[in-house]
Amino acid sequence: MSSSAWWRDAAIYQVYPRSFRDSNGDGEGDLQGVIAGLPYLADLGIDAIWLSPFYKSPNKDGGYDVADPRDVDPRFGTLADAKELIEAAHSHGIKFIADIVPNHFSSDHIWFQEALNSPKGSVARSRFHFYDGRGENGEIPPNNWISIFRGPAWTRTPDGQWYLHLFDSSQPDLNWNNPDVAADFEKTLRFWLDLGVDGFRIDVAHGAVKENLLVDHRDPERLIDALRLDFLDISEEERAGLLSDVPFFDREGVHEVYRKWRSILNEYPGDRMTVAEAFVYPSSRAARYVREGELHQVFNFNFMMLGWDAATMRASIERTLAELVDVKAPATWVLNNHDTPRVVTRIGGARKARALAMLIHALPGGIYIYQGEELGLPSADLPDNARQDPAFIRSGGTDKGRDECRVPIPWDSKLPNYGYGTGTPWLPQPTDWAQYSMDVEAADPDSSWSLYKKSLTLRHSHPALGGEGVPTWIEAPAGIMHFTREPGLEVVVNTTDNQITVAVSGSSILLESAAGSSLQGGQLAIAANTTTWLQR
Ligand code: NOJ
């Protein structure tokens, strides 16, 4: 790996393929739809796409229930389509990152079917976590853990044993102590690397290895509250107490798995990379996933969970960069994904979301953009009868689930379903989304899309943008974040609802997230909830 490897400061665009673009009119996005969207993504200026799973799956959890990790689900297309997509992305200068799910398989996977049909204590069962229950007749699950989607984390099989599933009952957890599991994942990595993928996003990267599997947790319900990425009302202190020791997450054994994976990636040319979905506590634990010889990037979820406040964001940025210095890994910045509310909704409106995007685009390291974020899409209102997320179903509707951020995206204001496809979209699109359609936004120089395009273009052309290192902070009035990066960039972020005047050294405005600021005689009167990039 070279120190200037492409992924260290790349802008990586997350495609949730089911909701991106539907080429065959069945109401579900597919790989040919992604191919059709590539010119648009190239125009936007992204460096890579990460595709959420498109593997064979009964689709109980949006494809994160993988029934065959080395084949494509017919609803998305064929293996030939996947190959065509990887090649087409490359021909547009876009790298391709696949998703890999080591924590669990689908219950439709041949191994699990074999396990169900095999006796207690068999090798087939030892690939998962099968145990006898407690109580006189084994009717009580082996421990009291709760699924992340609510309800018990154990399901009983007809012969009386129970199996562990941290997510839906259709997602049995794999037992990484069984060498078959490691061998199979190595095969999967090589399969996709041989097909030309440039990297992997690793699902629940901190989860594969469990400890104390037969021990009850002191407060399993509250633990699941604390693990949610969607900002439940929980104090930092309580969250810290619960997250500092999760028996099924962030165990030492996971690192051995990733050291092996890294050695496999290193066999391939071209700076292949990995990014870990590892929500661990405290944040310094995340750096352990990107130590030398392990993974390349880890999503910065701690920053993603913050509100729009200059002081807390600055503290988090400084902490993130400091935590990664020793391991020499670049930071990542992410505002939302297919599991969280959309940033516009979470942060309190499009204006703040645009300013926040321009903040993270100016920071050292890599950025992630979730499809539709560039259009400024809010989370969509959905009727309960449209919701499909297992989190909604398993919680009996008390948890609304994640469908609101997964609604198919709008391409063309003049076409049915906003050009997503001709069939009825699998989740209903709001009636007021023509305003966010790509054709409308591309024609408007002040749209969110145009801002993202300008910002991503500058990230490629301006010598101070992208890259690594640390910003130079300048003390600023309350509610203002102010820093410079060399050579020649000055960034001012106003997180307040008032215009504030800040002394600056920049001589011209390069880009601003909203109009309304003015620069005169070294004084920037920066409008409310705005980020401004200045040229020094
Ligand atoms: C994290 C994925 O992002 C989410 O969508 C999925 O439900 C869980 N992991 C389980 O795979």
Instruction: List the catalytic residues.
Output: 203, 277
Domains: count for the chain: 1
491 belongs to a structural domain: yes
Residue 381 lies in a domain: no
Distance CA 74, CA 80 (A): 11
Q: Is there a cis peptide before residue 119, judged by omega within 30 degrees of 0?
A: no
Give the 3-state secondary structure of 120-169.
CCCHHHHCECEECCECCCCCECCCCCECCCCCECEEECCCCCEEECCCCC
Residue 27 counted as domain residue: no
Ligand 1 atom nearest 62 alpha carbon: 5
CA 155 to centroid of ligand 1, rounded, Å? 19
User: pLDDT averaged over the chain?
Assistant: 96
Contact 250, 285 (CB under 8 A): yes
Q: Which residues pair with 493 in a beta bridge?
A: 481, 531
Q: What integer pLDDT is reported at residue 236 of this predicted model? A: 82
Q: Taking the mean position of all CA atoms in its chain, how far away is CA 467? A: 21
Q: Which two tokens stand for residue 472?
A: 């130079």
Q: How many CB atoms lie within 10 A of CB 503?
A: 12
- With contact defined as beta carbons under 8 Å apart, do 351 and 241 qualify? no
The answer to whether position 407 is within a domain reads no
Q: Is the CB of 334 under 6 A from ligand 1?
A: no
d(CA 353, CA 386): 27
Give, as one character, the DSSP assignment of residue 104: B
What does the alpha-carbon distance between residue 369 and residue 11 come to, in Å, rounded to a whole number? 7
Q: Could you tell me if the CB of 61 is within 6 A of ligand 1?
A: yes
Pocket test for ligand 1, best of 64, 304, 399 (most atoms within 8 A of CB): 64
Are residues 29 and 21 in contact, defined by beta-carbon separation less than 8 angstroms? yes
DSSP 410: P
* 373-397 residue pLDDT tens: 999 999 999 999 999 999 999 999 9
Please name the residue whose Cα sits nearest to atom 10 of ligand 1. 64
Confidence band of 3 (pLDDT split at 50, 70, 90): low
CA distances from 67 to 70, 277, 352, 420, 486 (A): 9, 21, 41, 27, 49
Q: What is the pLDDT of residues 32-54, one digit of tens each?
A: 999 999 999 999 999 999 999 99
Taking the centre of ligand 1 as the mean of its atom positions, its distance from the CA of residue 149, in whole angstroms, is: 10
Q: What angle do CA 23, 24, 30 make, to 5 degrees?
A: 55
Q: Which helix (H) or strand (E) holds 512?
A: strand 508-512
- As a whole number, mean pLDDT of residues 394-403 equals 94
Does residue 224 lie in a domain region? no
pLDDT, average across residues 456-474: 96
439 within some domain: no
At a CB cut-off of 8 Å and minimum separation 6, what does 192 contact?
70, 98, 100, 200
Do the strands 530-535 and 508-512 form a parallel or antiparallel pair, or are they unpaired? antiparallel
Distance CA 393, CA 524 (A): 51
**421 CA distance to ligand 1 middle (Å):** 26
List, in order, residues 6 or more apart from 11 with CB less than 8 Å away: 45, 46, 47, 48, 361, 366, 367, 368, 369, 456, 459
Q: What is the pLDDT of residues 267-321, one digit of tens each?
A: 999 999 999 999 999 999 999 999 999 999 999 999 998 999 999 999 999 999 9
Domain with 520, as residue range(s), is 470-535
pTM of the complete model: 0.98
Predicted local confidence at residue 4, as pLDDT: 85
Q: Are 536 and 490 in contact (CB under 8 A)?
A: yes
Query: Which residues are registered as beta bridge partners of 152?
Result: 146
Distance between CA atoms of 354 and 336, rounded to whole angstroms?
A: 13
Residue range 403-453, pLDDT digits in tens: 999 999 999 999 999 999 999 999 999 999 999 999 999 999 999 999 999
Q: With respect to residue 488, please indicate whether it lies within any of the assigned structural domains.
A: yes
**How distant is the alpha carbon of residue 30 from its chain centre?**
19
What DSSP state is assigned to residue 16? -
pLDDT at 67 over 80: yes
Residue 283 lies in a domain: no
Indicate which CATH number applies to the domain containing 499: 2.60.40.1180
Residue 132: alpha-carbon gap to chain centroid: 36
User: 167 CB less than 6 Å from ligand 1?
Assistant: yes
**Quick check: CB of 204 below 6 Å from ligand 1?**
yes
Q: What is the rounded CA–CA span in Å between residue 8 and residue 332? A: 9
Region of 452 (left: φ > 0; alpha: ψ -120 to 50; beta: rest) is: alpha
Taking residue 244's Cβ as centre, other Cβ atoms within 10 Å add up to 12
- Cα dihedral across residues 350, 353, 354, 355: positive or negative: positive
Residue 1: is its pLDDT beyond 50? no
Tell me, in angstroms, the distance from the centre of ligand 1 to residue 194's CA: 25
137-169 pLDDT, tens digit each: 999 999 999 999 999 999 999 999 999 999 999
- Per-residue pLDDT of 188-219, as tens digits, reads 999 999 999 999 999 999 999 998 899 999 99
3-state secondary structure of 174: strand
Residue 232 pLDDT: 65
- Nearest CA to 114 out of 179, 176, 203, 180 is that of 180
pLDDT exceeds 60 at position 93: yes
